[in-house]
Amino acid sequence: MNQKLWELIQELADKSQIGTAELAVAGANLDSEVSSVFNKHMSKGDVVNAPIEWA
């Protein structure tokens, strides 16, 4: 349960902007108990305010 969520957050953390459709598709791959909380949190804003520019 946790690993899928973490991988998804990692994927989204690298993006400066995330569209609603992209979020919906991403959340659909999670278990229902996880996706409802994930969607609620993501509707409040992006994963991070500004992604890290990884070296």
Residues that bind another protein (CB under 8 A): 1-2, 5-6, 9-10, 12-13, 33-34, 37-38, 40-41, 47-52, 54-55
Residue 30 CB, nearest approach to another protein (Å): 10
Residue 21 CB, nearest approach to another protein (Å): 20
Residue 28 CB, nearest approach to another protein (Å): 16
CA distance 52 to 32: 29
Sequence-separated (6 or more) residues with CB below 8 Å from residue 54: 14
